[in-house]
A = this chain, B = another copy of it.
Amino acid sequence: MPIYKAPVDDAMFLLNDVFQISRYNNLPGFADVTPDLIGAVLGEAAKLVEEVMQPLNRSGDEEGCTRHDDGSVTTPKGFREAYQQYAEGGWMGISAPAEFGGQGLPETVTTVVNEFMAAANMALTMYPFLTQGAIAAIITHGSAEQKAAYLPKMIEGRWTGTMNLTEPHCGTDLGLLRTKAVKQADGTYKITGTKIFISAGEHDLSENIVHLVLARIEGAPAGIRGTTLFIVPKFLPNADGTPGARNAVTCGSIEEKMGIHGNATCVMNYDGATGFLIAEENRGINAMFTMMNEARLAVGVQGLALSEVAYQNAAAYAKERLQGRALTGPKFPDKPADPIIVHPDVRRMLMAARAFNEGARALVIWTALQGDVEHRSPDEKARQAAADHMGLLTPVIKGVLTDQGFASAVMAQQVYGGSGYISEQGMEQFVRDARITMIYEGTNGIQAMDLVGRKLARDGGRALQAFFNEVQGFIKENGDDAMKPYVAPLGTALGHLQQATMWLMQNALTKPENAGAAATDYMHLFGLTAIGYMWCRMARAAQAKLATGTDERMSAKLITGRFFMGRMLPETAAHLARIQSGAASMMELPAEAF
């Protein structure tokens, strides 16, 4: 059976030593956030995920979800009880506003907790994660009445939420959507259409399901600027707030799919269902983006989470499995063979996953803190800078952390040899589960286009320039001998990123296909540079701690950082070369030649 131990210590090191969360204590909700409090919250989360959620991960995959003839859906055994513990523990709303029953803690804490949960049981925790996205949308765009009607129930975990965008003929290109909304005399709308790939669309975990549905009001303009967001609850709330009449929205089927079997991926049929306008007419896509950005970060975190749990299992296996002898001579001559962790090629895979995990976790926490600043700071300039950071880093975190998270899971599976292919070991499930993170909430190609086509040039490149300035400033201030092995490779990577940016400015404005052809490589080049910067900051903090005494975890940090710099960061050169080769060889072939 797979194992999982929440990396509480690593998160504490990042929050306290690297990013010094105490410096943010002027922000609302941060004043009481002491290291002790964070430690207590993360410790409780660790208990829940290790003892309750993780043990259901394999069985949930095997059993999957079942749709019954009446359209109801049963989740795997144990999911209901585990979700109940989650809800009762107040985890849904740890960062939600106190006025609606939340605990008002920093989003950063939620982000850390959500990594633990996704690692322990991704399929199960997708139910609450989608709810958190829906809560965020209602907080931002809902009317006072909508907030009062939905938020307390959702934050309590008694009602869950979903996000309904995709239709059979439209995924990325939401302008094509056909689900229609017809205004009624009482101000509500009748929603009719079919939505597909709806995660957590129907299930038995909550009393009510609050669907946020993108539809087109009769007579609205064609395309994306004619779409509107609606709240379509499974049960229409009564005046007293309890779930009332059953709405005309049903689960038509659940998809057979590669992984996340414990989460019901539904075809949802809206058959004149009652919907309530949220936000403005024909501005649905803007409202949807509130959920989507939140969701994109959460999906990036899922990529990291699956890499972490896969790594932990591979490391444990590599220390136990006896096979072959160390190249430098037997390490355990009394045993029939050495554990495979003595073999450099096994360590190559473990170290690559580990260096990615720790660097990616830093990138997530750094960015989550900016998210809190964006939403809570009283200082407008600080809010703007933080929003710039979020805009720039969101597609990078979604795209890079899921591509690399999947690659890590594949490497961790490889450590197991033939056993990695066998279901009961659980490694192949991590690979299958991780695969979806590269696809949903906007494929990684879409993330790359968002970065290159929109985020780079926005506001005259202000966000990018701020990122360059920060990294360059760090390199300048940390040129001492101890830091050289870290900042020197970072400088090279940053140079590649700047050259790639320059190339785009010179070649993509006149020929946009050069931007499209460069996008994925640029996103990865950016991600590697950003994670490289994270490793420099971690190395600095680790050196500071080591100056006060020995600390094996900090020594390990420095070694892992050197691995990242020597073995993973050099990939930036290949990305730059690919970008500079341009679009020609990609676009020249006529479509019929494929």
Contacts and interface: CB of A to CB of B under 8 A. Distances in A.
Interface in A401-434: 406, 410, 413-414, 417-418, 420-424, 428, 431-432
Contacts of A422: 255-258
Interface stretch (A45-53, A242-250, A472-480, A571-579): A571-579
Number of copies of this chain in the oligomer?
A: 2
A339 B591 contact: yes
Nearest to A436: B421
A5 interface: no
A544 interface: no
Contacts of A171: 323, 417-418
A436 B410 CA distance: 11
A35 interface: no
A448 interface: yes
A585 B571 contact: no
A342 B322 CA distance: 51
Interface string A509-550: 000110111011000000000000000000000000000000
Interface in A539-594: 552-553, 556, 559-560, 562-563, 566-567, 570-571, 573-574, 577-578, 581-589, 591-594
Chain A, interface residues (CB within 8 Å), range: 35 or more
A323 B421 contact: no
A343 interface: yes
A292 interface: no
Nearest to A338: B173
A517 B258 contact: no
A586 to B, nearest CB: 5
Nearest to A318: B594
A166 interface: yes
Contacts of A443: 414, 417
A347 interface: yes
Contact of A344 (B322, B420, B516, B553): B516
A592 B339 CA distance: 12
Among A520, A578, A586, A591: residue with most chain B CB under 10 A: A586
Nearest to A594: B315
A504 interface: no
A469 interface: no
Contacts of A410: 406, 435
A433 to B, nearest CB: 11
A558 B421 CA distance: 39
A173 B340 CA distance: 10
A448 B349 CA distance: 13
A32 interface: no
A329 B172 CA distance: 17
A351 interface: yes
B328 A513 contact: yes
Contacts of A348: 517, 520, 586
Interface in A472-517: 512-513, 515-517
Contacts of A173: 322-324, 337
A170 interface: yes
B516 A343 contact: yes
Contacts of A512: 327-328
B570 A589 contact: no
Contact of A570 (B560, B563, B574): B574
A591 B319 contact: yes
A461 interface: no
A571 B578 CA distance: 9
B593 A345 contact: no
Contacts of A586: 344, 347-348, 351, 563, 567
Contacts of A556: 589, 593
A348 B516 CA distance: 9
Contact of A566 (B319, B342, B351, B578): B578
A172 B258 contact: no
A487 B342 CA distance: 40
A128 to B, nearest CB: 21
Interface in A335-388: 336-337, 339, 341-351, 354
A314 to B, nearest CB: 9
A182 interface: no
Contacts of A170: 323
Contacts of A346: 445
Nearest to A569: B577
Given A319-B592, A570-B573, A573-B577, 5 more contacts: A171-B418, A413-B435, A421-B435, A560-B589, A570-B574
30 contacts: A170-B323, A172-B417, A176-B322, A197-B418, A256-B424, A258-B431, A258-B432, A315-B594, A319-B594, A327-B515, A327-B516, A328-B513, A341-B594, A343-B445, A344-B513, A344-B517, A344-B586, A345-B448, A349-B445, A414-B438, A556-B589, A560-B589, A562-B584, A563-B585, A563-B586, A566-B582, A567-B581, A570-B574, A570-B577, A574-B574
The 10 A-B pairs of least Cβ separation, nearest first, read: A344-B516, A566-B581, A570-B577, A258-B428, A563-B585, A315-B594, A327-B512, A345-B445, A344-B517, A256-B423
Interface of A: 166, 169-173, 176, 196-197, 255-259, 315, 318-319, 322-324, 327-328, 336-337, 339, 341-351, 354, 406, 410, 413-414, 417-418, 420-424, 428, 431-432, 435-436, 438-440, 443-445, 448-449, 512-513, 515-517, 519-520, 552-553, 556, 559-560, 562-563, 566-567, 570-571, 573-574, 577-578, 581-589, 591-594
